[in-house]
Amino acid sequence: MTFWQMFNLSFGFFGVQIAYALQSANISRIFATLGADPHQLSFFWILPPLMGMLVQPLIGKYSDRTWTRMGRRKPYLLVGALIAVLVMIFLPNAGSLHFSTRVFLGLNMAMWFGLFSLIFLDTSINVAMQPFKMMVGDMVNEKQKTTAYSIQSFLCNAGSLVGYLFPIFLTWIGIANTAPEGVIPDSVIYSFYGGAAILIACVLYTFLKVKEMPPKEYAEFHGIDPAAAAESKGEGLLKLLTKAPATFWTVGLVQFFCWAAFLYMWTYTNGAIAAGCWGTTDVASAEYQQAGNWVGVLFAIQAVGSILWATVLPRFKSLKTGYVVSLLIGAAGFASVLFIHNQYVLFLSYFLIGAAWAAMLALPFTLLTNALEGNPYMGSYLGLFNCTICLPQIIAAATGGLVLSLIGGSQAGMLLVAGIFLVLGALCVNLVKVNNPK
């Protein structure tokens, strides 16, 4: 494929990632504003990976069997994007709809509304996100996959950059960054509106520009025997899991430590920066909201680091070496946050973290799709592989409050734990067997 064909294949990911970045940078801020206790915050983060774990294997399974005039993966892409747009309009208004102050199971009604909105948002984002990974696996040959996934990583991080900077940009042009207690500031609300508009525009671009292969051409491209594929068409996800290549499990082990680390970053950066650089834990204060905006800037710096590192990754002769180096650089970034109390010096920390993020977006899928070449269930396996992203986040979210208590309640300390996780992930890369492109 030409560069621009690979670019068009993943361009919609730019819009999807804006939505995901807005969610990642603002969910803790939104629920803290709605009244959540810091020890509760990690529980809200169980929902996004849980929905991904449930949805993405099903998207993979059913899209493997979907052959329509619109395409194989593209129908799911379009439906997911449309639902995500609708939810992005409602979620940030959870504090503005005058819900009752009644508390049910420890949460007020505004938090319950936000919780259900988050479930629908993450479900739809997962539905829209997974087809991009599958289309690269479907349409790009083995030699170009590292490049194709690096392009996808670049667009993903460019989208993150936009999403992370939206609130501070809107604040800079005069949109209110504070609001009455329990109400989400307009800077966040309008950021979600803008992200929704860009999301649908980008997805429509890919939908209209990309033409997926028909079944016969797909089988020839991947060296699949159509008769053998037809005989095994009824195999379920659990049976496929028992036949997964060793690469699925070894890369999955690396993924476990990496995604647990980033779940802690998304959950605790806001509180860590507010306490460490602004000296406040009062979520209703202007300083806390300023720290919330600065989190978006730091995550944007991470995205810049990821964009730049994504151009370096294809230059490594060994995928495993690139993987290990990237994770160790990210670990150093995480560990440094605990010792830095200047908001500008933190740029270096999050720039380093970006190297790990770039590798996590590109290399696992390159390693796995190369190992799956010739397998008629590419989409199903990529959907199942998403569980290696979701399960560690669920476990980290479920135990986050306990870990926070064990280290004395320091949210910055949770980022040190994240750095330790990345070191463990780097050590596990040595277990991965690489299939070299033919």
Give the number of other CB atoms < 10 A from CB of residue 253: 18
Task: Give the span between the Cα atoms of 219 and 12, in whole angstroms.
Answer: 26
Please give the chain's pLDDT, 438 residues, in tens: 888 989 998 899 899 889 888 877 777 777 776 666 655 556 666 776 777 777 777 777 777 777 778 878 888 888 888 888 888 887 777 666 665 556 655 666 667 776 777 777 777 887 777 788 788 878 888 778 778 877 887 888 788 888 888 888 888 888 888 777 767 788 888 899 999 999 999 999 999 888 888 878 877 887 776 665 554 455 677 777 777 888 889 999 999 999 999 989 988 888 888 887 888 777 667 788 788 778 878 888 888 898 888 888 878 888 889 999 999 999 999 999 888 888 899 999 999 999 999 899 878 888 887 787 666 676 778 778 888 888 888 888 888 888 888 888 888 889 999 999 999 999 999 998 876 544
pLDDT score for 102: 63
Nearest to 367, CA basis, from 247, 250, 253: 247
The CATH architecture assigned to 3-431 reads: Up-down Bundle (1.20)
**What six digits make up the tokens of 248?**
């699925």
Nearest to 76, CA basis, from 207, 211, 232, 186: 207
Q: Domain extents for the chain? A: 3-431
Task: Give the span between the Cα atoms of 62 and 374, in whole angstroms.
Answer: 19
**What six digits make up the tokens of 303?**
């995205």
